Structure 1
Amino acid sequence: MSRLDRLWLRLLLAFSLVLLTAVGVTALLTFQFLGDQVTSYVIAGEQSTTQRLRNAFIRNYRIHNGWDGVENLTQRMSEALGERLVVTDARGTVIADSGQELIGQPEDPRWGPLVVRLYDEGTYLGAVFLNPLRAQRERERRTAELMQAIKWSVLGAGLIAGALALLLSLGLARRLVQPLEAVIRAARALGAGDLHQRVPVSGSGEVAELARAFNAMAEGLERAQKLRQNLVSDIAHELRTPLANIRGYLEALHDGVLPATPETLATIHEEAMLLSRLVDDLQDLAMMESEQLTLRREVVALGDLVQQVAQAMQPLAQQKGLALTVNLPTALPPVWVDPERIGQVLRNLVNNALTYTPPGGRVEIGAVARGGWVEVA
């Protein structure tokens, strides 16, 4: 199993644990809350039933001015409610029983608690008992049946919610891991040398920010590789010319084609010095890339430095048939620089200008102070 697979599994387990815990706690609290509500519902139903019985039996008593017809009423009400009813008169004697077992017997205190005491304008008429022989057990049975139904309903809903939570966790974990897999694949390809690798960016979260950072890094590496390739090509071109000249002169001297005159030796020496300067430039470049280049800064009159560079480059300008002039302001401020390195930069700039200016042209060196800087062009 790869690390990403393990990460995906850990995310899946974490999401699932959180969601299942939330579902479980919700189900538990719902069950406890509904348990109280069921009890209240059963009691409210009993109260509604007792009020209905009270109204019916008092009305029958008023109509008949006594308990005539109570047997029929008891039977009808028992069938309507699905409950056994027992009616006693004011003396506590059973006068009606839907079960036809207790008629004529005295009221038993154990028949409660589901009893409706009947009063008409303060006069006690009698009582109606619901399921007198099992009233408490009947209430408990009803409550248990409702609680059982609710428990299975909550359990079923919890299982469905848990399954949905697992599916949701699976999708979320996969959605988080997939962009990371793309970044890892691209990073491995990048490490193998494929600098064209990029990662698709979508959204604005942390993973998207990681993808943007990776793409920026890949672009920087690709740009650096192109610069390095161009640099190597330029170096090869710059080294090829003086080496070819030196080789040509040496072969001509060896074959006796050219005499070893001071002029010939001076030309070879000049080409060798050019090679030396190129090697020095490469060394400086390597030191800059490794951050080992040391700058010896000091306060320098930039005008004097520009004049020195222009004077040193005059022979090359004359050789190419160019006019090299200096146009500097009189109040040029001093600068805090390394004179050797800045002189090297100026010589390279002037040399490039002389190299790419056609014969008969003019190269002018100027400078201007801008804020805390001095710009030379």
Structure 2
Amino acid sequence: MKIRTKLILSMSVLIVFIMLFLLAVIHVQFYISRDFAYLEKKDTFESLRKEFEHYYRNHGDSWENVGSARFEYSGSFAEIVLSTDGKSLYQQGKLSADELRSDGYMLALNEEDRRIGRLYVMNDRQYKIYEFKTMWYGMLPNIGLASLLFTCIAALLTIFLLSWRLTSPIRKIIKGIEIIKKGDAAAVFPEQRKDEFGAISRALREMNDSLADAERTRKQLMSDVAHELKTPLMIIQGELELAHETGVSLSAAKQASIHDEVLRLSRLVHDVLELSRLEAGMTELRPRTENLVALLENLTTKTRFMVEDKQIQLSMYAEEEVILVSVEKSRILQALYNILTNAIYYTNPGGQIRVLVETVHLPDQLQPYARIRVEDSGVGISEEDLTHIFNRFYRADHSRARPSGGTGLGLAIARQNLLAHRSWIEVQSVMGEGSVFTVYLPICDVPCR
């Protein structure tokens, strides 16, 4: 159902409700005015009642011949009906007994504790109020129809104008969504509004910006992957074409070179798939209790040959011999390995790298954490690059030739692995002085599964 139709129906119901409400108010007001007239002339009403009760007692507890009797205070009333057992014994005025029973003011007649009859009366003021009510009720159908017709016409015009104004931002929002569906990111929404439509427009614009960013990221990823694949593929293609054209068999060195490029391609494809699974949450962890200190000692041993080749001094310090953490060993080692090898890549020959692990209590966390610091004396990272180093294929050293390094996915994979373990990583760096990568892992107070 359209908004315009809903508004018309709602307004029609409101009009009917208002008419019924006015009718009820008039009806109630009549009875209030009637009772208020009684309070103003209460003595006269009470005197009339006592006069009828006195007549009943003087005639041997009977209403015999009451219809022809004369009462002193009856002259103050326009309408009087005496009713007992549903019968009218005395009547004065123009109204019928039923009309007076319905709208007259009732005075109960009692003899000791016994009800002997009821008086239904109207004084002059009450009778005028009754006439006004009767006249109003008589005119109400015509007035109601005329008012309803006039109100409906005015309401319909108001509704059409109002609905057009209310639906205007909706039409703009729908138009903007249609533009987005066609692939055009330059959609315009009524964001300047201060109402709910403005809030919806801002939310849609933010969603559109997020989709545009995601699309740009996807395109950038495709471009980066293509760029990373291009160099090794060109090398392999060039070597094979040269061997084919010259008819000369590939030497052992050429075969080794091609093998290295194939390994590079394989590693790149593996890293892209691994990062995609991690970001999509498709990797299920199987954590076990591990000694973090032993894992780091094993890791530094495996990377010893890399630092020896560059004559880098690698040292490790642990605050305790055993720090228990609940992790999936292969994944946490992959994350720490990527962080450590990144430090090795960017540390010049003769530099040093220190790995420190300790237990810390963070102010905003209930459980203790293991803090792993990887400090290097490398080239450092600029402030501009710091916010991007965990992005795919991002390299802080843009001048460094790609074949000399990894795939550009190491830190991105490390960060996703840490996030999967409810952990996080921080980095601090000073250009020309080195960098510090800090990892926080939750500690098991007792051996955990």
Task: Give the alignment's TM-score, normalised by structure 1.
Answer: 0.56
What amino acid maps onto 1:287 in structure 2? R
Identify which of 5, 12, 24 aligns with 2:7. 12
Structure 1's 370 and 31: CA in aligned 2 closer, same or farther, altered over 3 A?
Answer: same
- Alpha-carbon distance, 1:336 to partner: 1.6
Counterparts of 2:235 and 2:351, CA distance in 1: 27
Aligned 1:340-355 pairs, distance under 5 A: 340-355=330-345
Identify which of 365, 369, 372 aligns with 1:373. 369
Q: Secondary structure at the match of 2:163?
A: helix
| Larger CA deviation: 176-185 vs 333-342 | 176-185
What amino acid maps onto 1:11 in structure 2? K
Structure 1's 264 and 143: CA in aligned 2 closer, same or farther, altered over 3 A?
Answer: closer
Kept in 2, the 8 Å contact 1:324–1:362? The answer is: yes
Which structure: greater helix fraction?
Answer: 1
Identify which of 11, 16, 25 aligns with 2:20. 25
Counterparts of 1:210 and 1:279, CA distance in 2: 41
Q: Secondary structure at the match of 2:318?
A: coil
Kept in 2, the 8 Å contact 1:198–1:218? The answer is: no
Kept in 2, the 8 Å contact 1:38–1:147? The answer is: no
Kept in 2, the 8 Å contact 1:303–1:328? The answer is: no
Kept in 1, the 8 Å contact 2:185–2:212? The answer is: yes
- Alpha-carbon distance, 1:272 to partner: 1.7
| Larger CA deviation: 355-364 vs 334-343 | 355-364
Counterparts of 1:367 and 1:259, CA distance in 2: 53
2:323 aligned with 1:323, yes or no? no
Q: Secondary structure at the match of 1:335?
A: strand
Q: Match for residue 258 of structure 2?
A: 268
Identify which of 211, 217, 227 aligns with 1:227. 217
What amino acid maps onto 2:167 in structure 1? V
Q: Secondary structure at the match of 1:300?
A: strand
Structure 1's 14 and 259: CA in aligned 2 closer, same or farther, altered over 3 A?
Answer: same
- Alpha-carbon distance, 1:364 to partner: 4.3
Q: Secondary structure at the match of 2:2?
A: helix
What amino acid maps onto 1:325 in structure 2? L
What amino acid maps onto 2:370 in structure 1? V
- Alpha-carbon distance, 1:348 to partner: 3.0
Q: Match for residue 239 of structure 1?
A: 229
Kept in 2, the 8 Å contact 1:310–1:324? The answer is: no
Alpha-carbon displacement from aligned partner over 1:40-81 (angstroms, at most 9, x marks no partner): xxxxxxxxxxxxxxxxxxxxxxxxxxxxxxxxxxxxxxxxxx
2:172 aligned with 1:192, yes or no? no
Counterparts of 1:37 and 1:153, CA distance in 2: 24
Alpha-carbon displacement from aligned partner over 1:272-312 (angstroms, at most 9, x marks no partner): 22221111112223333554323232222333433444444
Counterparts of 2:132 and 2:266, CA distance in 1: 106
What amino acid maps onto 1:275 in structure 2? L
Structure 1's 302 and 268: CA in aligned 2 closer, same or farther, altered over 3 A?
Answer: farther
What amino acid maps onto 1:12 in structure 2? L
* Runs of at least 5 residues in structure 1 that lack an aligned partner in the other structure: 1-5, 40-111, 114-139
Q: Match for residue 78 of structure 1?
A: none
Counterparts of 1:258 and 1:329, CA distance in 2: 56
Aligned 1:161-310 pairs, distance under 5 A: 161-197=151-187, 199-201=189-191, 202-205=193-196, 207=197, 210-254=200-244, 260-310=250-300
Structure 1's 38 and 342: CA in aligned 2 closer, same or farther, altered over 3 A?
Answer: closer
Alpha-carbon displacement from aligned partner over 1:312-370 (angstroms, at most 9, x marks no partner): 44555566x46262434232623222222222223333444444555665554444444
Instruction: Determine what percentage of the aligned residue pairs are the same residue.
Output: 25
| Larger CA deviation: 223-232 vs 170-179 | 170-179
Structure 1's 334 and 36: CA in aligned 2 closer, same or farther, altered over 3 A?
Answer: closer
What amino acid maps onto 1:13 in structure 2? I
- Alpha-carbon distance, 1:197 to partner: 3.5
Task: Give the alignment's TM-score, normalised by structure 2.
Answer: 0.48
What amino acid maps onto 2:232 in structure 1? P
Structure 1's 229 and 255: CA in aligned 2 closer, same or farther, altered over 3 A?
Answer: same
What amino acid maps onto 1:194 in structure 2? D
